[in-house]
Amino acid sequence: MSNITPEETARLMRWATYASTLVAITLIFAKGIAWVATDSVSLLATLIDSCLDAAASIINLLAVRHALAPADKEHRFGHGKAEALAGLGQATFISGSALFLVLEALSQFWNPQPIEALGVGISVMVLSIVATMGLLIFQKHVIRKTNSTAIKADHLHYKTDLLVNTSVIVALLLAFYGWAGFDPLFAILIAAYILYSAWDIARESLDLLMDRELPDEDRQNIKTIVRAHPQALGLHDLRTRKSGTTTFIQLHLELDDNLSLREAHTIADEVETNLLAEYPGAEVIIHEDPASLQENHPEFAE
C-alpha cells in the first residue's frame, strides 16, 4: 500500500464509489433496452447483475462514507468494519443474482428462444465492456493507494462483470448462428463464476470482521522496523488487525532494565514514529517491558 495521508485515502475511496454507482446505473438502462430487443437470457443475466451492481455500489457508497467517519464516544475504534459489512452485503447480492439466473436459464434451456436484434445486443455489450474496463483501471489505482476492502470487493465484482460481458457476446453469436441453447448454457456458466466470486468477497469480509492478523509479510515487516531501533532488544505478543482503512498494531517492546520510565517512553515513541512512516494512519500501542522479565507466550509465538 502506498504511503498516503488519511485525507487522500478518503477522497480516493469516495470517488471510487461514485464512479461504480454511475457506471452501474448507466449500464442498467443500456442493457434493459438490449434485453427487450433481443430476448436473450444471457443479456437478462447481465441486466440483473447490473441492477445488483447498482444496489451494491450504493451500499458501498454509504458504507465507505460511514467507515471514514472519525471515532466517536460509542465507537472508539472507529467505524471501519462498515467496509466489511458492505462486502458481505455485496456477496449476498451477487449470490442472489446467480441463483435467480440459474433458475431462469434452466427454464429456457429446455425451451430455447431464438435471438433477435443481434446487433443491438452486441453493441450494448461492447459499451459495457468499455465502461467496465475504465472503472476497473480507476479502482485498481484506488486499491493500490488505499488497500480498501470495500473497493476491492467492488473491483472483484466488476472484474467478474467484464468476463461475463465478454462471454455474453460469444453466447449471442453462437445462439444466433447455431443452437439457441448456447444462450442459457452460457448463463449457467456465468452464474457459477458469479458464485465463486461471491465466496471470495465474503471470505475477505469475514476475515476483517473476525480480526484476522495482517499477512505474514506485514507482520515480518513490523518486526524488522521495531528491531531496527538501536535500543530495542526484542519484541513479543505482536498483535495486528485491520478495520476499514485503519491498521491496528499492538506489541510488547523489550528494553534494557536500567532505563528510566522517560527514556523507555521516548524509545517507544521513536519506534511508533518509524511504524507510522510505513503504515500511515495506523493505531499503534506499545507496551515497554524490561528485557529480563520477558515471558514466553506460546499462543502468540513470534
Convert the pLDDT of each residue in 129-177 to its tens digit.
899 899 999 999 988 888 777 787 778 778 777 777 777 777 667 766 7
For residues 12 and 93, state if they share a domain.
yes
For residues 172 and 234, state if they share a domain.
no
CB 46 within 8 A of CB 161: yes
Q: Count CB neighbours of 10 within 10 A.
A: 18
For residues 132 and 48, state if they share a domain.
yes
**Three-class DSSP category at 290:** strand
In a domain, 1, yes or no: no
Kindly give, in sequence order, each residue whose CB lies less than 8 Å from that of residue 206, ignoring residues fewer than 6 positions away.
84, 88
CB 112 within 8 A of CB 179: yes
For residues 71 and 199, state if they share a domain.
yes
Where does a domain end: 175, 209, 243? 209
Looking up residue 271, the CATH number of its domain turns out to be 3.30.70.1350
For residues 240 and 132, state if they share a domain.
no
Quote the CA–CA distance of 276 and 272 in Å, as a whole number. 6
Looking up residue 57, the CATH number of its domain turns out to be 1.20.1510.10
For residues 72 and 195, state if they share a domain.
yes
Q: What's residue 301's pLDDT?
A: 43
Q: Which residues of the chain have pLDDT under 50?
A: 1, 297-301
pTM of the model: 0.58
The partner residues of 255 in beta bridges, in order of sequence, read: 290
Q: What's residue 151's pLDDT?
A: 80
For residues 108 and 189, state if they share a domain.
yes
pLDDT digit string, tens, across residues 260-280: 999 999 999 999 999 999 888
Q: What's residue 282's pLDDT?
A: 87
Instruction: State how far the alpha carbon of 62 is from the alpha carbons of 13, 71, 145, 153, 159, in Å.
Output: 11, 17, 20, 15, 22
Instruction: State how far the alpha carbon of 88 is from the alpha carbons of 63, 150, 204, 211, in Å.
Output: 11, 10, 9, 15
In a domain, 253, yes or no: yes
For residues 144 and 241, state if they share a domain.
no
In a domain, 120, yes or no: yes
For residues 63 and 170, state if they share a domain.
yes
CB 187 within 8 A of CB 41: yes
For residues 137 and 57, state if they share a domain.
yes
For residues 201 and 227, state if they share a domain.
no
Where does a domain end: 209, 237, 268? 209
Q: How many domains does the chain have?
A: 2
- Residue owning grid cell 455500489: 57
Give the strand pairing for 246-255 and 234-243.
Answer: antiparallel
Q: Count CB neighbours of 65 within 10 A.
A: 15
**Three-class DSSP category at 213:** coil
CB 136 within 8 A of CB 151: no
Where does a domain end: 180, 209, 238? 209
Quote the CA–CA distance of 201 and 197 in Å, as a whole number. 6
Give the strand pairing for 246-255 and 283-290.
Answer: parallel
**Phi–psi pair at 66, nearest 5 degrees:** -70, -40
Q: What's residue 227's pLDDT?
A: 94
The partner residues of 288 in beta bridges, in order of sequence, read: 253
DSSP 40-98: -HHHHHHHHHHHHHHHHHHHHHHHHHHHTSPP-SS-TT-STHHHHHHHHHHHHHHHHHH
Q: What's residue 1's pLDDT?
A: 47
Take residue 67 and report the three cell numbers written for it.
467507515
Structural domain boundaries enclosing 246: 216-300
- What element of type H or E holds 250? strand 246-255
For residues 108 and 249, state if they share a domain.
no
Quote the CA–CA distance of 219 and 72 in Å, as a whole number. 28
In a domain, 115, yes or no: yes
